[in-house]
Chain A
Amino acid sequence: MTAYIVRRLLWMIPLLVGVSIITFAMLKRIPGDPVTVMLLESRSSGRVITEADRERLRKQYGLDKPAYLQYFDWLGEVLRGNLGTSIRMKQPVTEVIKQRLPNTMKLAGVSLVITLAIALPLGILSAVRQYSWLDYVLTAFNFVGISIPQFWLALMLLYLFAVEIQLLPVRGMRSPYVEPGFWNHLVDTVTHYILPVTSVTLASLAGYMRYQRAAMLEVIRQDYIRTARAKGLPEHVVILKHAWRNALIPIITLLGYVLVILVEGSIVVEAIFSWPGMGLLAVDSLQQRDYPVVMAIVMLSAVLIMIGTLLSDILYAIVDPRVRYD
């Protein structure tokens, strides 16, 4: 097992180098650079930036060098533990990420807890009462849920509750002016969470529910469940203690990816509700060609996905003793 983990970890190095080269090359293929984007902005706000000014800035950001040298510059900095400075925000990239990461984790965390709290029981119910009207309703709901694009759902929620009914805030995490007092702040915070959390939850609910249902269906057909029932155990003990624990195995392995979800968040939902998290940062940075930030986010995701899959595999071996890695 230890040898396996070490091997997997070592494999990450060439993988990460590969990811970084591909990402860097793709970034460079996008037309324009941070200076061009600035030029467009200054043009729309009426400023003329001369050729000399542009050259000076390009030199400042190392953009005057050939692309492969820029890559090595970047790699050299990263190996020394420096993710670089955001061109747009003039702060170390680590600072920028530190400001946004907690916001994404809050949104993703709350959504995940709510999603699991709804999806798991309903998935179990659906399996236990297979082909009942409840199962049909949930299945129908799941098909709709899987089919609806998240951006559409989020925009509809926004339009309905924030624009038409004006019940909930349009955007952001909190209002700039809140009357002092614990309750006022609580209400302000909660109302800002409702729409984004609902969007994320509704979009991921169906997947978890289907997954749980399938796992449960497989388990309740096993011999040891029949044995448990034959022992005369009450049905809820059979389902929750004997069946569910086994049906959780595939769900647990999914949790490896939760790491990624928590850190990456939902680009779509964050962008629509201007949630100041990692997703919005990724979109903004890409638009502004803020290369160091984009590279940092992509590399962070790559690392997390690799660690996530590794964790899933390890968890799998732990919860299911039949699985062995040698």
Chain B
Amino acid sequence: MTYDPRVEALIREATRRRYDRRTILRRAAMLGLSAPAVAMVLAACRQEEAAPGQTPAPAQTAAPGQTPAPAASPTAAEQATGGMVNVINTLGDKQVGNPILNSADYWVEWLCFSKLVKYDDKGNIIPDLAERWEYSSDGLTLTFHLFEAKWHDDTPFTSADVLFTFETIKDEKTDTPYGSRLQVGGEWVSWEAPDDRTVVLTMKEPFAPFLYGLSQIPIIPKHLLEGSSDINTDPFNTQPVGTGPFKFVEWNPSQWIRFERYDEYHKGRPAADGYTAFFMEDTNAGAAALERGEVDMMFVPPEMQPRYESDPNFMLLNYVYFTPITLAFNHKHPILQDFNVRKAIAHAIDKKSLADTVTKGRGLLAENQYATTGPLDKYNDYDNVNYSEEYPYDPELAKKILDDAGWTPGPDGIRQKDGQRMSFPLLTYSGFDEYKNGQVILQQMLSQVGIEVVPQVLEYTTLEQMWHDPNDDPMGRAMELQEWPHPFEQDPDVYNELHSANWPPGDNYMWFKDAGVDRLIELGRTTVDPEERVKVYHELDLARLKTLPALPLYCAVDGWVVSRALGGIPEDTPSIRWYHRAFPEKIYKKQS
């Protein structure tokens, strides 16, 4: 096959943006590419399974199956590293110094401090302060071997700092949200340090999400905080000292935080001279600053993304959520407890047209429990689970199921049974047009089969109060359009939100209970071996398909706009949000 630069460009674009097949075909048609070329693109993108029902790609494609190299990163000769990277702090002014305390500043945590381990942008766990770690064969002991590193004030980092951090979190007086990260089965794990570079943790039962929990805990310096009269208000809280790639320089309340390169960083000298994080809560002000070149990178909501898609000064990089947007059913609701009703609803929803409309074509159909291409993708069982195949869009079938279940259309067209109308409030939280539009579309689709849906948009805080109220009336909160159940971010564990032990005031606020699902969730969190664990979650994917705690609709793909003045960011990163957290030391401002 002759080389066609357009094919390569399309491959790069498709892998970067994770287009679905339909989009690729459409784009290829626009470019006037031949069928074999299209096949090559499709093969390269490994999107075959993602969009069933399309014409299969020609099997004889000779194209190499490997993904293309990351889009050209400039060579060192072209652009020198260094420079100040300007970023935005959207969450407002906070406590800046101590990252284990509640409401810690985001950038201070990621730039100044290190954890034992962290996640990269592909969902792999990588070393941070721990060079390597190993589980004992029974999965009860976890040993970390630490890097040789120094605090920003030149004091050596040792295992004592790790123990001090854990002790501080355990102390009831410490205002920290991380307590449960160091607990297994409701009990604190025990920790000890045989020497300066080793930390050993012992737990009473194997607990697979434990490493994920540790990836959340920044390590704080013992020598600066030991003996503090009140760690919650210690002066350290305005003058952080960490082991991360950048040193804290200056905090100007509500204005910015400045960081400079820490040359002694244990993973090598960082690329940029420093970072400045500006506080800008308003997205429009942020966009103005972005276009003026005052900030180099920011999250932009879907409605603002199109204007950066073709702008040569910016890259629009993907940020895939880990949970699909779902239609979640309240399992305390007497009507929705009936599986057949949930099944009928699933058949009555045309997910594809819903997803295309509300995400303007950027979303991906959700056919499994976790988001496609997200960090949890590998836990999806693509061989056996496909919601659209199990519950294809078929309003007639939906009607038949409801008829058979005794729900017959009443005088107003709404189905009823024993004097009860089939009418459900559908709640969502405010702030997202996507959800509001989704509610209306669902309302329309379900009305076609005689189900009334009453959309309601609530403030998140109001909704949250309803979730955790054990006496909340299920009739007022029958269905929700949001992302439920949430796993831990890069860990597939859904114990909190799906296991029946966590009914409100716990986090299983949709009141789901199924013995088989419970068992798999428990098995999933006690299986430490990574491959075995994947198998458990494949089973869970199937169990969820058969029990329908919630119907996955689509995976939202959001964007970060990144200025082309920045270097060190691969354009094909599946999640820019995790890339900049995992590798802030690789990002720099190109110096011409």
* Residues of A in contact with B (beta carbons under 8 Å apart): 30-32, 36-43, 45-54, 56-57, 60-61, 85, 87-92, 99-100, 162-163, 166, 170-174, 176-177, 274, 276, 280-281, 284, 287-288
Is B496 within 8 A of A287, CB to CB?
Answer: no
Q: In chain B, residues 319-369, which have Cβ atoms closer than 8 Å to a Cβ of chain A?
A: 322
Tell me if B141 counts as interface (CB < 8 A to partner A).
Answer: no
Is A173 within 8 A of B106, CB to CB?
Answer: no
| Bound complex: CA A88 to CA B104 (Å) | 8
| Bound complex: CA A37 to CA B183 (Å) | 24
- With A51-B505, A89-B93, A92-B233 known, 8 other A-B pairs at CB within 8 A are A36-B461, A42-B177, A45-B91, A47-B216, A53-B180, A85-B233, A90-B175, A274-B279
| Bound complex: CA A287 to CA B93 (Å) | 12
Is A38 within 8 A of B102, CB to CB?
Answer: yes
Known: A177-B84, A284-B93. A274 touches B288 (CB 8 A): no
Is B177 within 8 A of A88, CB to CB?
Answer: no
A sample of 8 cross-chain residue pairs with beta-carbon separation below 8 angstroms, ordered by A number, consists of A88-B93, A88-B94, A92-B233, A100-B253, A163-B291, A172-B255, A274-B255, A274-B280
Is B254 within 8 A of A280, CB to CB?
Answer: yes
Is A51 within 8 A of B507, CB to CB?
Answer: yes
Is B461 within 8 A of A31, CB to CB?
Answer: yes
Known: A38-B102, A166-B292, A274-B255. A31 touches B462 (CB 8 A): yes
**Interface bits B89-125 vs A (CB < 8 Å: 1, else 0):** 0011111011001110010000000000000000000
Is B103 within 8 A of A88, CB to CB?
Answer: yes
* Residues of B in contact with A (beta carbons under 8 Å apart): 84, 91-95, 97-98, 101-103, 106, 172, 175-180, 183, 186, 216, 232-233, 237-238, 250, 252-256, 258, 276, 278-281, 285, 288-289, 291-292, 294, 322, 459-462, 464-465, 468, 486-489, 496, 502, 505-507
Known: A36-B464, A50-B180, A274-B254. A171 touches B175 (CB 8 A): no
For A39, A281, A287, the residue with the greatest tally of chain B CB atoms inside 10 Å of its CB is A39
- For residue B296, give the distance in angstroms from its CB to the closest CB of chain A: 14
For B106, B279, B505, the residue with the greatest tally of chain A CB atoms inside 10 Å of its CB is B279
Provide the residues of chain B in CB contact with A43, threshold 8 Å: 486
- For residue B531, give the distance in angstroms from its CB to the closest CB of chain A: 24
Known: A31-B462, A47-B216, A48-B488. A90 touches B276 (CB 8 A): no
For A31, A32, A87, A176, the residue with the greatest tally of chain B CB atoms inside 10 Å of its CB is A176
Is B180 within 8 A of A90, CB to CB?
Answer: no
Residue of A nearest to B212 (CB): A48
Is A48 within 8 A of B237, CB to CB?
Answer: no
Is A91 within 8 A of B237, CB to CB?
Answer: yes
Contact pick for B489, options A47, A56, A61, A274, CB 8 Å: A47
For A48, A91, A276, the residue with the greatest tally of chain B CB atoms inside 10 Å of its CB is A48
| Bound complex: CA A47 to CA B232 (Å) | 21
Contact pick for A60, options B175, B216, B237, B468, CB 8 Å: B175
Contact pick for A39, options B93, B237, B464, B488, CB 8 Å: B464
| Bound complex: CA A50 to CA B506 (Å) | 8
For A46, A89, A99, A284, the residue with the greatest tally of chain B CB atoms inside 10 Å of its CB is A46
Residue of A nearest to B490 (CB): A46
| Bound complex: CA A87 to CA B94 (Å) | 9
Known: A99-B253, A172-B255. A91 touches B233 (CB 8 A): yes
| Bound complex: CA A288 to CA B178 (Å) | 20
Is B465 within 8 A of A288, CB to CB?
Answer: no
Known: A41-B91, A276-B255. A90 touches B106 (CB 8 A): no
Residue of A nearest to B250 (CB): A176
Provide the residues of chain B in CB contact with A42, threshold 8 Å: 177
- For residue A254, give the distance in angstroms from its CB to the closest CB of chain B: 30
Residue of A nearest to B186 (CB): A52
Is B252 within 8 A of A276, CB to CB?
Answer: yes
Provide the residues of chain B in CB contact with A36, threshold 8 Å: 460-461, 464-465
Residue of B nearest to A99 (CB): B253
Contact pick for A48, options B92, B102, B285, B496, CB 8 Å: B496
Known: A47-B216, A89-B94. A53 touches B179 (CB 8 A): yes
Known: A31-B461, A36-B461, A57-B175. A46 touches B233 (CB 8 A): no
Is B175 within 8 A of A48, CB to CB?
Answer: no
- For residue B111, give the distance in angstroms from its CB to the closest CB of chain A: 15
Is B92 within 8 A of A288, CB to CB?
Answer: yes
Is A38 within 8 A of B233, CB to CB?
Answer: no
Provide the residues of chain B in CB contact with A40, threshold 8 Å: 460-461, 464
Which 10 interchain pairs have the tightest Cβ spacing?
A32-B461, A276-B254, A46-B489, A90-B95, A31-B461, A31-B462, A50-B180, A163-B288, A53-B177, A88-B103
Residue of B nearest to A173 (CB): B255
Is B253 within 8 A of A276, CB to CB?
Answer: yes
- For residue B369, give the distance in angstroms from its CB to the closest CB of chain A: 16
Is A48 within 8 A of B486, CB to CB?
Answer: yes
Contact pick for A170, options B250, B279, B294, B507, CB 8 Å: B294
Provide the residues of chain B in CB contact with A60, threshold 8 Å: 175
Is A49 within 8 A of B177, CB to CB?
Answer: yes
Provide the residues of chain A in CB contact with B172, threshold 8 Å: 56
Known: A31-B461, A276-B253. A50 touches B496 (CB 8 A): yes
Provide the residues of chain B in CB contact with A57, threshold 8 Å: 102, 175, 177
| Bound complex: CA A52 to CA B176 (Å) | 11
Known: A31-B465, A49-B177, A53-B178. A38 touches B103 (CB 8 A): yes
- For residue B482, give the distance in angstroms from its CB to the closest CB of chain A: 10
- For residue A43, give the distance in angstroms from its CB to the closest CB of chain B: 7
For B280, B291, B460, the residue with the greatest tally of chain A CB atoms inside 10 Å of its CB is B460
| Bound complex: CA A99 to CA B96 (Å) | 15
- For residue A53, give the distance in angstroms from its CB to the closest CB of chain B: 5
Known: A52-B180, A85-B232. A91 touches B461 (CB 8 A): no
Residue of B nearest to A49 (CB): B177
For B180, B216, B232, B459, the residue with the greatest tally of chain A CB atoms inside 10 Å of its CB is B180
Is B322 within 8 A of A46, CB to CB?
Answer: yes
| Bound complex: CA A46 to CA B216 (Å) | 11
| Bound complex: CA A40 to CA B250 (Å) | 28
Residue of A nearest to B98 (CB): A90
- For residue B342, give the distance in angstroms from its CB to the closest CB of chain A: 25
Residue of B nearest to A88 (CB): B103
- For residue A65, give the distance in angstroms from its CB to the closest CB of chain B: 17
Provide the residues of chain B in CB contact with A176, threshold 8 Å: 250, 252, 255-256, 258, 276
| Bound complex: CA A170 to CA B233 (Å) | 33
Contact pick for B101, options A90, A171, A280, CB 8 Å: A90
Provide the residues of chain B in CB contact with A85, threshold 8 Å: 232-233
For B183, B461, B468, the residue with the greatest tally of chain A CB atoms inside 10 Å of its CB is B461
| Bound complex: CA A42 to CA B182 (Å) | 18
Provide the residues of chain B in CB contact with A53, threshold 8 Å: 177-180
Provide the residues of chain B in CB contact with A92, threshold 8 Å: 233
| Bound complex: CA A188 to CA B97 (Å) | 28
Is B292 within 8 A of A170, CB to CB?
Answer: yes
Known: A32-B464, A171-B280, A287-B92. A50 touches B102 (CB 8 A): no
Is B285 within 8 A of A170, CB to CB?
Answer: yes
Is A284 within 8 A of B92, CB to CB?
Answer: yes
| Bound complex: CA A56 to CA B173 (Å) | 9
- For residue A40, give the distance in angstroms from its CB to the closest CB of chain B: 5
- For residue A98, give the distance in angstroms from its CB to the closest CB of chain B: 11
Is B506 within 8 A of A51, CB to CB?
Answer: yes
| Bound complex: CA A99 to CA B91 (Å) | 20
| Bound complex: CA A304 to CA B252 (Å) | 27
Known: A52-B179, A91-B238. A162 touches B288 (CB 8 A): yes
- For residue A48, give the distance in angstroms from its CB to the closest CB of chain B: 5
| Bound complex: CA A57 to CA B279 (Å) | 25
Residue of B nearest to A163 (CB): B288
Residue of B nearest to A33 (CB): B461
| Bound complex: CA A258 to CA B317 (Å) | 50
